[in-house]
C-alpha cells in the first residue's frame, strides 16, 4: 500500500469525492481515504503521478507520505510522523485570533451602538450609511481571513462535489450579499431623504451574522483539530520511546552511534534505565526488561542469554550485551508504526454508510435551504426573514460529525490496541473482530506452550528416582528427538549432571540404546521397551492413564530390568483455560484444531475447556476445517506457525500469536498479538466491540442532531448564529465520545 497526504478536505463529502476520483484511475485496485488523518492508501499498478493528478482534478491537493524527509529515517517512522503531525491547529489558531479581533469591532458597531447606544466617533453618529459601510469592510476582512471556506466551498461546487465548506460559504456569502444589497438600497433611500426606509433597511443588515458564522465555524474546526490530536496520544507516546542512538561495540570499544548506523549482526550494550535501541538477542548478562510499551503488561520480563529483546522496551536492572537481529524498518516498533499507519489509511465497512450519506447530504441540504426560503416567501414573510431561515439550514448542517464518526473511533481503538500489544492491519479487521461467533485455536503454541515438559516421574519398584533420571538424562542427551529436549530441560532445572554414554544408537521402532558404566540402557515407547525387558502390570496401567491424560509416557530400562517411566507433555499455558472461559462467556464457540490423535487431543481440550475438539487435522486440512466452520458463523482463526497461514487467510479474521516479525503466519494474519498469550483474545474482542458501540453512537448522534437541527432551523427556532454553534457542537461531541476509548484498559 502506498500512502499519500491529501490537503483541502473538510468533511466526509470531500473524502468520498477523492476516493471516487482515485478509484477511477486505471490500475487502482483499492483506495481508502481517511478524513481524520488526511491520508489516503492506494493499492494497484497506477503511478504516483496519475494518482496525484486525479486528486488535483477533483479539486484537492496530494503528495506522497514522507516525501522530502530525510532518507536515513525508516519509512515506517516517517509514515507514523506524517500521520500524527498536527498541521491544522496552528493555522486555525492564527485565523481565529485575527477573525475574533475584527469581529469584536464589528459587533460593537452593529449591536453595541445600534441596540444599546454605545458611543461612536462623532462623524459616524447618525450616519447610517457610514455605519453600514464600516460593517461591510469589517465583514470583508473576516471573509478574507477565512477565505479557505470560500475557495474550498466554491471549488467543490464547480466540481459538482459540494462539501461542508460549500454550506458555510453559501450561508455566509448569502448573508453578506443580502446585507450589501440592503446597504446600497439604504444609500439610495438616504439620498432621496426617505429616512423611514433608511431605518427599515438597517434591520436588514446581516453583516455580523456573515462574519460570526465564519468565526464560530473556525472555533469548531480548531477544537476539532485539537481533539483529533488527543486521539493519537497513545501512538505518540509509543513513538517517543523510539531511541535515537545506540551504544555498539566497534573493535573492543563502546561507541555511541545514531540508530540508523546500527547494522544487523552488530553487538550493542544496554545499561540499566536505557531503552533498547533495536531488536536483538541477549548474548551476555541478564536483566528485567519493561515491555509495557509494546505489550501493555506492566510486570517486567526477565531476560537471560538467548532471549529476545525488542526496540523501545526499557532495561530496568542489569547490564545487557545483545546482537542486533532486526534493525531499521524490520524492528518490532517500526512494524507496529507501519501497521498503525496502514490501518489508519483503510476504511471500515461501517464507514461506507457515512460515505453514502455524505455523498447526497450536502446537495440535499442546499435543496432544503432553497425550498425553505421559497416556502417562507410564499407564506408572506420578508426576504430577510426567509433568507435567515435558509442560511440557518445551511450553516447548521454538519457533515463533519458524520464523516468523523467512524475514523476517529477507529484511530483511538487502533492506538489503544497498539499500546496494549494488539496490532490491527486494517480497519476492517478492527470492526470484524467484534462480530466473531466462532474462534478456532491451534493447539501447539497457542493453547499449549509448544515446548514439551516433564510432567510425571514414575520409578519402577526397587528403583530410586535419581537412578531413573540419571539414566534418562544420559540417554536422551544424545537424541535429537523433540521429546528428548524436555527431559534435558528438566535436567537443567534440577542442576543435574549428565554423564557421557558410548555406543549410542537411535533404533527403528521409537527406541534408543547406549552404554553407561558398562550397562546397556534402553529408552522409548512401550512396544520397544517391552521387547527388551519385562514391564509389570502396575507400571503399564499408570502409563495408560498418562496417555489418556494427553501425555506421552517414555519407558527406560537396562539389560536387567525396567527402570521406570517419565511422562512428557506439551503443557497448557497457565492462562489458556481462563481465557477460553471468558470467550465462552462472551458468546463465542471455541474450537481446538490439532494434528494430534483424538485421545490426546480430547484430553488437552478437556483441560483447556474448549467447546469442540477437531483432531487429526493435517496442516493442509486446517483451511478446509475453517471453510466448514464458516458455514456456521463468523470465524476467527488463531495460530502461530507457518502451517497455520492458509487457515489464517481463509478465516474471516486471522490472528497471529507472538510478535510482529517477518513470519509467514504474521503476514497472512489480519491481527497480530505481540504477547504469545491466549489471554489477549478476550481483550481483543472487548476492544473491537466497544469501538463498534462508540461508532454506532457517533453515527446515531450525528444523524439525529442534523435532522433535528435542520427541522428547528426551517421553523425559525434556530437562527444562523446559533446554527453555527450547533454545527460545531456536533463535530466536537463526536470526537470527545470517541476519545473516551482512551480510558480502555485490559482487565
Q: Answer yes or no: are the C-beta atoms of 590 and 583 closer than 8 Å.
A: yes
Are 524 and 509 in contact by the 8 Å Cβ rule? The answer is yes
Report DSSP letters for 540-602, one per residue: HHHHHHHHHTT-EEEEEEESSSEEEEEEEE-PBPTTHHHHHHHHHHTTPEEEEE-SS-HHHHH
Answer yes or no: are the C-beta atoms of 671 and 687 closer than 8 Å: no
**Residue 256 CB: number of other CB atoms within 10 A?**
9
Q: Scanning the structure block, which residue is given the C-alpha cell 494430534?
A: 596
Spell out the alpha helix ranges (H) of 2-87.
Answer: 12-23, 48-57, 75-84
Enumerate residues 6+ apart whose C-beta is below 8 A from 326: 264, 278, 279, 280, 332, 661
How far is residue 317's CA from residue 315's CA, in Å, rounded to a whole number? 6
- C-alpha distance from residue 79 to each of 1, 38, 69, 83, 333 (Å): 12, 12, 10, 6, 13
Quick one: cell of 351?
464507514
Contact 243, 275 (CB under 8 A): yes
**Sole residue written with cell 453514502:** 356
Partner residues linked to 1 by β-bridges: none
Asked whether 460 and 539 are in contact (CB, 8 A), the reply is yes
Q: State the catalytic residue, choosing from 204, 279, 342, 442.
A: 442
In the block, cell 464547480 appears at: 158
Active site residue 442: yes
What CA–CA distance (Å, rounded) separates 706 from 400?
Answer: 11
Position of cell 458501540? 693
Q: Are 230 and 739 in contact (CB under 8 A)?
A: yes
C-alpha closest to that of 284 among 314, 305, 265? 305
- Determine the Cα–Cα distance for residues 88 and 37; give it in Å rounded to an integer: 11
The answer to whether 315 and 273 have CB atoms below 8 angstroms apart is yes
Question: Any bridge partners for residue 458, and if so which?
Answer: 565
Give CA–CA dist 50/54, Å, rounded: 6
Strands 453-459 and 562-569: antiparallel
Phi-psi category of residue 251: left, alpha or beta, with phi > 0 → left and psi -120 to 50 → alpha: left
Please report the beta strands in 366-452, taking only residues with DSSP state E, as ranges in sequence order. 422-424, 438-442
Dist. CA 358–CA 705, nearest whole Å: 15
- CB contact at 8 A, 550 and 604: yes
In the numeric block, the cell 476492544 is attached to 687
Query: 673 and 680 in contact (C-beta within 8 Å)?
Result: yes
CB neighbour class for 508 (10 Å; exposed up to 12, middle 13-18, buried from 19): exposed
d(C-alpha 354, C-alpha 235), whole Å: 26
Task: Kindly list the catalytic residues.
Answer: 442
Amino acid at each position: 500500500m502506498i500512502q499519500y497526504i491529501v490537503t483541502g478536505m473538510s468533511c466526509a463529502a470531500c473524502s468520498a469525492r477523492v476516493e471516487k476520483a482515485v478509484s477511477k484511475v486505471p490500475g487502482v485496485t483499492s483506495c481508502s481515504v481517511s478524513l481524520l488523518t488526511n491520508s489516503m492508501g492506494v493499492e494497484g499498478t497506477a503511478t504516483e503521478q496519475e494518482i496525484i493528478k486525479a486528486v488535483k482534478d477533483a479539486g484537492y491537493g496530494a503528495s506522497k507520505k514522507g516525501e522530502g524527509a530525510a532518507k536515513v529515517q525508516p519509512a515506517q517512522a516517517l509514515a507514523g510522523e506524517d500521520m500524527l503531525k498536527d498541521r491544522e491547529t496552528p493555522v486555525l489558531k492564527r485565523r481565529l485570533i485575527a477573525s475574533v479581533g475584527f469581529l469584536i469591532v464589528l459587533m460593537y458597531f452593529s449591536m453595541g451602538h445600534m441596540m444599546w447606544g454605545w458611543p461612536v466617533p462623532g462623524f459616524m453618529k447618525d450616519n447610517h450609511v457610514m455605519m453600514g459601510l464600516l460593517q461591510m469592510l469589517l465583514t470583508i476582512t473576516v471573509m478574507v481571513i477565512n477565505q479557505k471556506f470560500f475557495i474550498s466551498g466554491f471549488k467543490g461546487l464547480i466540481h459538482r462535489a459540494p462539501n461542508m465548506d460549500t454550506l458555510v460559504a453559501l450561508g455566509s456569502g448569502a448573508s453578506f450579499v443580502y446585507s450589501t444589497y440592503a446597504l446600497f438600497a439604504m444609500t439610495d433611500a438616504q439620498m432621496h431623504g426617505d429616512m423611514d426606509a433608511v431605518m427599515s433597511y438597517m434591520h436588514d443588515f446581516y453583516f455580523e451574522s456573515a462574519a460570526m458564522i465564519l468565526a464560530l465555524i473556525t472555533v469548531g474546526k480548531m477544537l476539532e483539530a485539537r481533539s483529533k490530536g488527543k486521539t493519537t496520544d497513545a501512538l505518540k507516546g509509543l513513538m517517543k520511546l523510539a531511541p535515537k542512538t545506540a551504544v555498539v561495540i566497534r573493535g573492543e570499544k563502546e561507541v555511541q552511534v545514531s540508530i540508523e548506523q546500527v547494522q544487523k549482526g552488530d553487538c550493542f550494550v544496554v545499561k540499566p534505565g536505557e531503552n533498547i535501541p533495536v531488536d536483538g538477542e541477549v548474548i551476555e548478562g541478564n536483566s528485567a526488561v519493561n515491555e509495557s510499551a509494546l505489550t501493555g503488561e506492566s510486570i517486567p520480563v526477565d531476560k537471560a542469554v538467548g532471549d529476545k529483546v525488542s526496540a523501545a522496551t526499557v532495561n530496568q536492572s542489569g547490564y545487557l550485551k545483545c546482537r542486533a537481529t532486526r534493525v531499521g524498518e524490520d524492528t518490532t516498533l517500526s512494524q507496529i508504526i507501519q501497521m498503525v499507519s496502514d490501518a489508519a489509511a483503510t476504511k471500515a465497512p461501517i464507514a461506507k454508510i457515512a460515505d453514502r450519506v455524505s455523498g447526497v447530504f450536502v446537495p440535499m441540504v442546499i435543496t432544503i435551504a432553497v425550498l425553505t426560503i421559497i416556502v417562507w416567501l410564499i407564506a408572506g414573510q420578508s426576504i430577510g426573514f426567509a433568507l435567515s431561515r435558509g442560511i440557518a439550514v445551511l450553516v447548521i448542517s454538519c457533515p463533519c460529525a458524520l464523516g468523523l464518526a467512524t475514523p476517529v473511533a477507529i484511530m483511538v481503538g487502533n492506538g489503544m490496541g497498539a499500546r496494549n500489544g494488539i496490532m490491527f492491519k486494517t480497519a476492517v479487521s478492527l470492526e470484524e473482530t467484534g462480530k466473531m461467533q466462532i474462534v478456532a485455536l491451534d493447539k501447539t503454541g497457542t493453547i499449549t506452550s509448544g515446548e514439551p515438559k516433564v510432567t510425571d516421574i514414575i520409578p519402577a519398584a526397587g528403583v530410586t528416582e535419581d537412578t531413573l533420571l540419571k539414566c534418562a538424562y544420559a540417554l536422551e542427551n544424545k537424541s535429537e528427538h523433540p521429546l528428548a529436549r524436555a527431559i534435558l530441560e528438566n535436567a537443567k532445572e534440577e542442576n543435574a549432571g549428565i554423564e557421557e554414554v558410548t555406543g549410542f544408537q537411535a533404533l527403528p521402532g521409537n527406541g534408543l540404546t547406549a552404554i553407561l558404566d558398562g550397562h546397556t540402557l534402553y529408552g522409548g515407547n512401550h512396544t520397544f521397551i517391552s521387547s527388551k525387558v519385562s514391564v509389570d502390570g502396575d507400571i503399564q496401567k499408570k502409563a495408560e492413564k498418562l496417555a489418556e491424560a494427553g501425555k506421552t509416557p517414555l519407558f527406560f530400562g537396562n539389560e536387567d530390568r525396567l527402570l521406570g517411566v517419565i511422562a512428557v507433555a506439551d503443557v497448557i499455558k497457565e492462562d489458556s483455560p481462563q481465557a477460553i472461559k471468558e470467550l465462552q462467556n462472551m458468546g463465542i464457540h471455541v474450537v481446538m484444531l490439532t494434528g494430534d490423535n483424538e485421545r490426546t487431543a480430547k484430553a488437552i481440550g478437556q483441560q483447556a475447556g474448549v467447546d469442540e475438539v477437531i483432531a487429526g487435522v493435517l496442516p493442509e486440512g486446517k483451511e478446509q476445517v475453517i471453510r466448514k466452520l464458516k458455514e456456521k458463523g463468523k470465524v476467527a482463526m488463531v495460530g502461530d506457525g507457518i502451517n497455520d497461514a492458509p487457515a489464517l487467510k481463509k478465516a474471516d479474521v486471522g490472528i497471529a500469536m507472538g510478535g510482529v516479525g517477518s513470519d509467514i503466519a504474521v503476514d497472512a494474519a489480519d491481527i497480530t498479538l505481540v504477547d504469545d498469550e491466549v489471554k489477549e483474545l478476550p481483550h481483543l474482542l472487548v476492544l473491537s466491540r466497544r469501538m463498534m458501540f462508540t461508532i454506532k453512537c457517533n453515527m446515531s448522534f450525528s444523524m439525529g442532531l442534523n435532522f433535528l437541527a435542520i427541522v428547528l432551523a426551517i421553523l425559525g427556532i434556530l437562527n444562523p448564529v446559533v446554527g453555527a454553534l450547533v454545527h460545531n457542537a456536533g463535530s466536537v461531541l463526536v470526537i470527545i465520545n470517541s476519545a473516551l476509548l482512551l480510558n480502555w484498559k485490559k482487565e
